[in-house]
Amino acid sequence: MSRAAEGRAGAGGAAATIDVDQALSLYRQMVLIRGVEVEIETLHKRGRMTGSFHSSMGQEACAAGVCAALRQSDIVTSNHRGHGHAVAKGIPIEGIFAELFGRSTGVSGGRGGSMHLHHRESGFLGENAIVAGGLPWAGGAAWARKKRGLTDVGVAFIGDGGFAQGVTHEVLLMARYWEAPLVIVCENNGLAHSMASERLFGEPGSITRIVEATGVRSEFVDGRDVIAVAETAAAMVEHARTVGPAFIECQVFRVKPHSLSDPDYRYREKDAGQAWLETHDPILALRRRLGEDQGEALDRIDAEVAEEVAAASAAAEAAPQTPVEAALENVYLTAELNKNG
């Protein structure tokens, strides 16, 4: 990192505390998230993957920065736009690709698909297609760990649309009452599908102020700056471990349509996402911040990640297809019990 970059302010105006190695690690994580999602979108467009896909392109800094503050034993839950969170929490990307290919080696056995990635070994309790549906999981897991005398935290990623759900405020207040070690991360990308979040809550930062009124510690952070996100997350995770719940509003931007089949040109300017990415890409922002003296290291990361993604995708596609009979596995009611009524 250049001296100028090291001296720039981080979260909350404090001097940056991220060193060069940590910054390079954050860069690698963002490039890996981007690479995985670009590969998934490409495979869909080529007809080699089916089902829905919700891209988090442009939001990589939030996933990478928050998860950098976590232990493997910390719990993360996510939403329908959760591939980045899954990658950042350490799920093997071959298992993610295999899941989306419907292969038996997928992290959910090829039965869950894009919106139901789970990997307990990485502390990733799962995505949820229900808006804000993963929040009670993280809240319950956080409280349970506190009751067991552990210091692990639960982290729930939601969107601005998820903040409008009643369950979000119920969990928030219960976590405050129980002093549960829960961190809620609201990725405010400006759109709840097609509804502008400013029409619901006001300008970015308004959600933070709403949560502050409940007495829960809340911070707003620019999601284009992965170092600011990482520093903010480190402080908020430590607060959750030692004091009680915390809330982060991370301002991001939804570069891609809501899903592959969404005609977003009907409610925002065509190519709005691409135009934003050209000037606000968090990956390019970190490259500029690290400076030319890290150019060789950054190029090496780019090449290594591209090779890793290609190899994982190919291996996943070659894996055995999940058999139809697998639909009857891991259910609560066995065939024998069913026969007996």
* pLDDT for res 15: 39
* pLDDT for res 335: 56
Token pair 């300008």 is at which residue? Answer: 203
* pLDDT for res 14: 36
Contact 192, 219 (CB under 8 A): no
Spatial separation of the C-alpha atoms in residues 327 and 110, rounded to whole Å: 10
Tokens coding 149: 């005398």
Q: What digits encode the pLDDT tens for the residues 198-249?
A: 998 999 999 999 999 999 999 999 999 999 999 999 999 999 999 999 999 9
Domains of the chain: 18-339 (3.40.50.970)
**All residues at 6 or more sequence positions from 96 whose CB lies less than 8 Å from its CB, including other chains:** 36, 83, 86, 87, 106, 107, 117, 316
Tokens coding 2: 């250049």
Q: Which residues of the chain have pLDDT under 50?
A: 1-15, 340-341
Q: What digits encode the pLDDT tens for the residues 34-54?
A: 999 999 999 999 999 998 899
* pLDDT for res 188: 96
Buried b (16+ CB within 10 A) or exposed e, 289-312: bbbeebeeebeebbeebeebbeeb
